[in-house]
Structure 1
Amino acid sequence: MARFGRYVAMGDQAVSSISNFVAVAIVANVATAGEFGQFSLGYAGLLLFLGAQRALIGETLLVKYSAAGVLDPEARRAVLGASMLASAALLPLLLAGAAVVDGPSRLLWLAIAASLPFVLVQDTLRYVFICEGRPSMALLIDGVWAALSIALMGFVALTTGSVWGVVLCWGGGATAALAAGLILARALPSPRSGARWLSANRNPGWRYLGEFSALNASTFVVLYLLAIPLGAAGVGALRAAQLLFSPLNTAFSAMKMAVIPELVRSRGTVVFRRRLIETFVVVAALACLWGAVVMLLPASVGVLLLGDTWRAASELRLPYFLQYIAMVPYTLLLAYYRSVQANKLSTFMRGALAILTLVLPLAFSYAGGTVASAWAFSLAVGVAALVGGLATVRWRSKSRSGLPTRQDPSRARTSAPGPAEPDLRPAADAR
């Protein structure tokens, strides 16, 4: 199982993504247009918070703790407690959304808010299992969530048609999966230990959160700004074309999450380079295969998927295809940076992408409209990957020549010779 752990972790991500897609589809079938709009806003907020937690806690866990293998019970309690604190900090934002809407929409927002703590802590538990080299446990609890929530959601949709009830069933599935996972992990969250864990791991945790926030902010802002030169229809075409390639986002994210623990554990061995090459081949093959599927998609299928937006979105397939080809080296570099804790390089590359994503599409949109904007997004990823690659070559060249290189404190703590045991205990104990 250990040999194929990364593929089990990818399978877990696939189960999680598919079950979430089915959940959204069930909600769409029982909701009115207005209710689905409210659900989309609340659900988008929940996903944004989930991504922020993964950057702050999940990636830090994989990077700094994977080399040690199985975590001790106190470390598990601390990580889960950190997730509880994150959910407590984010929950008021969803409750604020519930406070400003009326009628049935308020119940819908409250159902999403009630689900948030269980979804976030369950997701952190997945990262704990993957960090420990037990991705099958992550797959098991996600399977419990998928099977239970889809069955309950389908039942409620057929019997009552209550949108907020359907959402509660989704959150209930997360709660059941969390309970099963806590039993398997033999640990309960400890917020006090979680606070110490966040403090002890603030570098690189806050850096990863900053990278995530900058990228999401630039993408969010540029879409609104593009509505000025392109109009709502142009922005819709860009989003629709992106939707065609969205499975690759899931695949790339899953591959990165699955391979980082193995890279951390194999650092300094011949297996490390082998894993990097294997990751490149797999990610490139996925990009080419899915890209070919989208490029050859018949118009009838496209209309079925996107409706009237298909005609405009179909013209954007080639630049988006090339964008995801450029995402291959970008994803590989990010996995490499995480595994060797080259945190400044990752911030440099992702910061470059955030700036390019904000500037280039706007500049191109005034010159060539929607199609030019799509090419600009592709160019932004390609240039960011090139910048990251050149910076990596320069950094490695300095390392080989023995020139001093500035290290982040987090990397300095874990780069000593011998088996690294990076801050497994809460901060108070480590002191």
Structure 2
Amino acid sequence: MTAPEEEPPPEKPSDPPRTPRRSAAALASVLDQAASSLTNIAVLVIAARVSTAHGFATFSMVYLTFTVLLGLNMSYVGQAVVLTRGDTAATGAACRSAIAFTSLASTVVGVLLAAVGAVTGAVTGGWAGPGGAFLALGLVLPLVLVQDGLRYAFSTLRRPGLALAADTLRLACVVPALLLQPRHAAPGLLVAVWGVSAVPALLLGLRLLWPHVRGARADLRPYVRRGHLGQRFVVEFAVGNASSQLAVLGLGLFAAPLAVGALRGATTLFGPLNVLFNSVNAFGPPLFNRLGGRRATTRAAALLGVVLSAVGLAWGLVLYALPDRVGRQLLGATWESAAALLPASGAQYAVMGLGTCALVTLRVLRPRATLSVQVVFSLLSVVLMLAGYLLTGSALGAAWGLAAGSALKAVAAWTRVARLRVEGTTPTTAVPAVRAS
């Protein structure tokens, strides 16, 4: 997710008018977010179509691991570097340092994953089992993480159009590469093809970045110092998103692998809503900041939350009404198990719309108030998901547990907004938000 350019309140007489160039940059940021999200949706849909139900479950566990690692890198490196301010030399050095750190860290983690996959592959089915899939992830991890990390460098440089070019090429390469794979392809093969298909976009991104960082010196020391800004963002990501993702991964590794495939399949169908929610997180704070008051901000956020909730319910109804024939064309053998979760997933996304707007409101009015909500209710969502699975013995119970957790988080966040007593609070500059889950 690329960070929006911060704008001061427009009522000041000295404010410059919004130029066509800035409008084009905002449009490029939205399109880049859409291209990145569409890539994730396409990868999961195509993998489900060419895999068996067990194969997609294995692929989903590996892809979920990548999603967690991607979020950690986004939080520790990406969200910190986009806050860099200064002249061209300062931003160029920051971007080069961010890419260098991502390269080094992803290589270390990739080697560990590959080693674990190689050791377990001999026991768990070789290339076709989880071990082979994790081995493949370890080998391609530096490629995919650095390619994604370039988006944040371009955002820092105020060049979202360059990120859009690289991410569009990424989408154009990964879709045909996966579609060319044979039916019932091994999960390890799919992971390898998905990762290698990032090379053209990676090379293009590095080429586009080079003129902006030429002559700059990479400095990795800030990333290992205590108090690095990314440490705060990692904590919030860990409790807001990674906790539930790791719980789903643990469910697959130790209890029911097919449940992971069903949950991921259902979530994939709601991918367009993720694009919408991420856009609200990116562009909501600066827009709400311009409203200039607590009541106006809260009222606008509440209205937007109702709209997002209605969109979530409508999209869930559309998916629920899909004929099985169309569903199988989308998700292959995984459709039957994913379709059973659509009512629960639709309810979850409906309340997530409300929760997302509440958290964005808190980010604007009182940024420090979000962490406690994220910690308590994200962990509660994990507990409810596991409890739902244990009580029902199925992925459906886990899905309703996640929906209940999202609903409680939304209620808690809006309750916190309602309790803000300081009238006339001036909105503060928001830090990057974490999507409600």
TM-score by length of 1: 0.71
Alpha-carbon shift at residue 80 of structure 1 (Å): 2.6
Q: Aligned residue for 2:347?
A: 322
Count the aligned residue pairs: 396
Structure 1 unaligned segments of length 5 or more: list them: 403-410, 421-431
Amino acid in structure 2 at the alignment position of 1:15 = A
Q: Aligned residue for 2:73?
A: 53
The farther-off stretch of 217-226 and 345-354 is 217-226
Q: Does 1:180 align with 2:207?
A: yes
Amino acid in structure 2 at the alignment position of 1:3 = S
Q: Aligned residue for 1:423?
A: none
Which one of 23, 26, 31 corresponds to residue 3 of structure 1? Answer: 23
SS of match in other structure, 1:300:
helix
Alpha-carbon shift at residue 381 of structure 1 (Å): 0.7
Distance 1:312 1:149 in 2: 26
Alpha-carbon shift at residue 15 of structure 1 (Å): 1.6
Q: Aligned residue for 2:435?
A: none
Distance 1:385 1:303 in 2: 33
Alpha-carbon shift at residue 87 of structure 1 (Å): 1.9
Q: Aligned residue for 1:90?
A: 109
Distance 2:39 2:152 in 1: 18
Distance 2:44 2:345 in 1: 25
Q: Does 1:221 align with 2:247?
A: yes
8 Å CA contact 2:93–2:216 kept in 1: the answer is: no
Q: Aligned residue for 2:233?
A: 208
Q: Aligned residue for 1:383?
A: 408
8 Å CA contact 1:303–1:310 kept in 2: the answer is: yes
Q: Aligned residue for 2:357?
A: 332
Structure 2 unaligned segments of length 5 or more: list them: 1-20, 432-437
Distance verdict in 2 for CA 1:325–1:133, change over 3 Å: farther
Distance 2:400 2:53 in 1: 32
8 Å CA contact 2:137–2:195 kept in 1: the answer is: yes
Q: Does 1:77 align with 2:105?
A: no
Distance verdict in 2 for CA 1:10–1:315, change over 3 Å: same
Distance 1:334 1:166 in 2: 37
Amino acid in structure 2 at the alignment position of 1:353 = F
Deviations 1:288-346 (A, max 9, x none): 44223213323432344456765665454333222111111222233345556714x22
Distance verdict in 2 for CA 1:393–1:33, change over 3 Å: closer
Distance 1:238 1:42 in 2: 14
Distance verdict in 2 for CA 1:282–1:80, change over 3 Å: farther
Q: Aligned residue for 1:171?
A: 198
Distance 2:114 2:216 in 1: 23
Distance verdict in 2 for CA 1:317–1:303, change over 3 Å: same
What is the percentage of aligned positions where both structures have the same residue? 27
Alpha-carbon shift at residue 376 of structure 1 (Å): 3.1
Distance verdict in 2 for CA 1:293–1:164, change over 3 Å: closer
Alpha-carbon shift at residue 190 of structure 1 (Å): 5.2
Distance 2:360 2:80 in 1: 13
Q: Aligned residue for 1:424?
A: none
Q: Aligned residue for 2:434?
A: none
Q: Aligned residue for 2:18?
A: none
Distance 2:312 2:378 in 1: 22
Which one of 340, 355, 361 corresponds to residue 379 of structure 2? Answer: 355
Amino acid in structure 1 at the alignment position of 2:146 = V
Q: Which runs of structure 2 are paired with 1:6-405 in the superposition (5 Å)?
A: 6-23=26-43, 40-62=60-82, 64-65=83-84, 72-100=91-119, 101-102=121-122, 112-148=137-173, 150=175, 166-167=193-194, 169-183=196-210, 185-187=212-214, 191=218, 193-197=219-223, 199=225, 202-203=228-229, 205-214=230-239, 215-221=241-247, 224=250, 238-259=263-284, 262=286, 273=297, 280=305, 283-284=308-309, 286-306=311-331, 313-338=338-363, 342-343=367-368, 345-364=369-388, 373-394=398-419, 396-398=420-422
Distance 1:373 1:321 in 2: 14
Distance verdict in 2 for CA 1:113–1:77, change over 3 Å: same
Alpha-carbon shift at residue 57 of structure 1 (Å): 2.1
8 Å CA contact 2:147–2:205 kept in 1: the answer is: yes
Alpha-carbon shift at residue 368 of structure 1 (Å): 6.1
Alpha-carbon shift at residue 50 of structure 1 (Å): 0.9
Alpha-carbon shift at residue 138 of structure 1 (Å): 1.4
Distance verdict in 2 for CA 1:69–1:368, change over 3 Å: farther
Distance verdict in 2 for CA 1:151–1:73, change over 3 Å: same
Amino acid in structure 2 at the alignment position of 1:91 = G
SS of match in other structure, 1:72:
helix
Distance verdict in 2 for CA 1:174–1:218, change over 3 Å: same
Distance 2:273 2:214 in 1: 34
Distance verdict in 2 for CA 1:144–1:253, change over 3 Å: same
Amino acid in structure 2 at the alignment position of 1:46 = F
Alpha-carbon shift at residue 73 of structure 1 (Å): 2.0
Distance 1:240 1:26 in 2: 11
Distance 1:401 1:167 in 2: 48
Distance verdict in 2 for CA 1:109–1:72, change over 3 Å: same
Amino acid in structure 1 at the alignment position of 2:102 = S
